[in-house]
């Protein structure tokens, strides 16, 4: 069996001052004999703790109230176990909290204050504030622009706030890929053991308490031993509607190639997107969704609604780590 680690692009862009990226660390640990889920959590922790990544953990872009709320999930193929946390405050390493929940309880999901108190009881340090100076400054700028435009129409505040977020990404103040946050990382080891992790600070400037697809089994992450693993980044509500990661892994179980399974899920999302608020002037989705897929036999792929040379994913094999181009279902658009 050929070991493979696949992740969103930030899995090979951030090192938090160290020598390894997420996929490099996870691959090294997997090929050294570590449990596949332990290796993935160790990898994504690098990104969660790096303040330069504004999509997860410490320095993640906060909600509309300026508070960082984190979601994360993990699945262990051989053990047929999964666990997740949502709206977690004060603990940057949300993936590790989800893994601890998997290991010490029979629960799948803890949210809000319950998730925080579980983390505290398990020995995780609770921080008062997970914003970095950069993410706090970006929130203040978002709040300033949103307040000015919503003053005459408070009922449309969150709609206006989303447009301001898109505006900030167009101006290059935030990475367009991070408007929706998230790192997903999946792997198969030399024995065919599969696992996956997804962790996120969610949609930038979201409504407090909003939870996307990342901690929902079958939506932002799904793993089935003997079949494969899939996870996503991008607009989580689209994956929630169709349980896209489950769909992909089910297609892998039936023998589909990872890229074909990913494209089928994207076609389902495109067909289900009928709300005018979610369509561009060509009648196509005005958001992006990307999938990161590994089959039990080591084949892998990444598929996106909108691909292109600037839409990438990370992978690490025996040949080392690299960023590759995501295959797109639709034509490229200016902002992803």
331 pLDDT band, cuts 50/70/90, is confident
Q: What is the 3-state secondary structure (H, E, C) of 81-148?
A: EEEEEEEECCCCCHHHHHHHHHHHCCCCEEEHHHHHHHHHHCCCCCCCCCCCHHHHHHHHHHHHHHHH
What would the CATH number be for the domain defined by 4-130+175-330?
Answer: 3.60.20.30
pLDDT at 64: 96
Q: Is the pLDDT of residue 334 over 80?
A: no
The burial of 333, by beta-carbon neighbours within 10 Å (0-12 exposed, 13-18 middle, 19 or more buried), is given as middle
- 182 noted as active-site residue: yes
Average pLDDT, integer, range 229-251: 96
Decide: 299 and 278 in contact? Cβ < 8 Å.
no
Q: What percent of the chain has pLDDT over 90?
A: 90
Q: What is the dihedral of CA 247, 111, 61, 162, to 10 degrees?
A: 70
pLDDT at 333: 62
pLDDT at 75: 98
| DSSP bridge pairs for 5 | 187, 316
Annotated catalytic residue, options 182, 198, 200, 273:
182
178 pLDDT band, cuts 50/70/90, is confident
Prediction pTM value: 0.96
DSSP state letters, 191-241: T--EEEEEEE--STTPPTT---STTSBTTTEEEETTTEEEEEEE-HHHHHH
* pLDDT tens per residue, range 75-126: 999 999 999 999 999 999 999 999 999 999 999 999 999 999 999 999 999 9
Average pLDDT, integer, range 237-263: 97
**Cα distances (Å, whole numbers) of residue 75 to 54, 104, 187:** 24, 14, 11
Nearest to 216 by CA among 100, 310, 84, 102: 84
Q: What percent of the chain has pLDDT over 70?
A: 99
Looking at per-residue confidence, does 308 or 79 come out higher?
Answer: 79
């Amino acid at each position: 069996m050929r070991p493979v680690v696949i992740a969103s692009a930030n899995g090979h862009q951030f090192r938090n001052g160290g020598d390894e990226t997420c996929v490099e660390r996870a691959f090294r640990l997997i090929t050294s004999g570590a449990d596949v889920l332990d290796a993935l959590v160790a990898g994504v922790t690098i990104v969660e703790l790096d303040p330069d990544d504004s999509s997860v953990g410490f320095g993640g872009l906060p909600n509309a109230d300026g508070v960082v709320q984190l979601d994360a999930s993990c699945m262990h193929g051989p053990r047929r176990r999964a666990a997740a946390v949502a709206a977690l405050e004060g603990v940057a390493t949300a993936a590790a909290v989800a893994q601890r929940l998997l290991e010490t309880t029979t629960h799948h999901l803890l949210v809000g204050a319950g998730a925080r108190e579980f983390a505290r009881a398990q020995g995780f340090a609770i921080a008062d504030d997970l914003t970095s100076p950069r993410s706090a400054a970006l929130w203040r700028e978002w709040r300033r622009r949103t307040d000015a435009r919503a003053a005459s129409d408070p009922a449309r505040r969150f709609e206006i706030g989303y447009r301001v977020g898109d505006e900030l990404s167009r101006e290059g103040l935030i990475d367009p890929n991070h408007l929706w946050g998230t790192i997903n990382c999946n792997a198969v080891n030399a024995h065919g053991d599969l696992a996956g992790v997804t962790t996120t600070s969610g949609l930038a400037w979201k409504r407090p308490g909003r939870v996307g697809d990342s901690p929902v089994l079958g939506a932002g992450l799904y793993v089935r031993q003997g079949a494969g693993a899939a996870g996503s980044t991008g607009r989580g509500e689209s994956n929630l509607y169709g349980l896209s990661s489950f769909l992909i892994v089910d297609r892998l179980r039936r023998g589909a190639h990872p890229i074909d399974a990913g494209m089928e899920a994207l076609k389902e999302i495109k067909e289900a997107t009928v709300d005018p608020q979610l369509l561009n002037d060509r009648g196509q989705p005005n958001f992006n969704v990307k999938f990161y897929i590994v089959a039990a036999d080591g084949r892998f792929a990444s598929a996106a609604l909108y691909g292109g040379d600037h839409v990438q994913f990370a992978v690490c094999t025996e040949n080392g780590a690299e960023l590759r181009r995501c295959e797109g279902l639709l034509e490229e658009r200016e902002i992803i």
